[in-house]
A = this chain, B = another copy of it.
Amino acid sequence: MDVGRAFLIRCPEDEDLVKFVEDFARKNGINAGIVNAIGTLKNARLGYFNKEKGKYEEIDIRGYRELLSAMGNISLKNGDVFVHIHAVLGDREGNTVGGHLIEGKVFVGEVFVLELRGEKLERIKEGSLYLWPPYREKH
C-alpha cells in the first residue's frame, strides 16, 4: 500500500476515543490506516480475548489514567470503517494496565492517523473474530 494523508489532531474532551477515530476516518474517506494516540483517558473499558469462550472479558478502569500508548489500525468490516486499538494505561504511581480498547472517554487525546491507500483491507468473520486474510494466503 502507499502512504496517504497524515493527521495529528486533538480529540475533543469527553468523546470516546475509538468512536472519534471511526467517525474521523469515515468523514475523511480513510478506509485503511494506522492510529497512535497518547493523552489521558477516563473510565476506560478494556478487553481480553478469551479464546475458549470466543469473546472478550471486560476490565473496567474507573477514574483518570494516563494513556501511555494507543496503537491500532483502520480497516473495513461489513463495508464500514472499523478501528482496532490496544491501549496501555498508567495511574498516579505509574502502575499500568492494558487491553483491547473497548471504550474510554478522552480528557486529553493527541491522535495520529496515517492513511494507507491501495488494496481494500476488509475483515472477514473467522470463528468469533473478524480478521484480515492472513498474509500467506494472499501471495
Binding site for B on A (CB under 8 A): 1-3, 5-13, 20, 24, 32-34, 36, 38, 40, 46, 48-51, 57, 59, 61, 64, 66-69, 71-73, 75, 84-88, 90-100, 107-108, 110, 112, 114, 116, 121, 129, 131-137
Contact = CB atoms under 8 A, between A and B. Distances in A.
| Number of this chain's copies in the complex | 3
| Chain A interface mostly | strand
Contacts of A112: 34, 73
Given A3-B114, A94-B46, A94-B59, A129 B100 contact: no
A8 B32 contact: yes
A61 B98 CA distance: 16
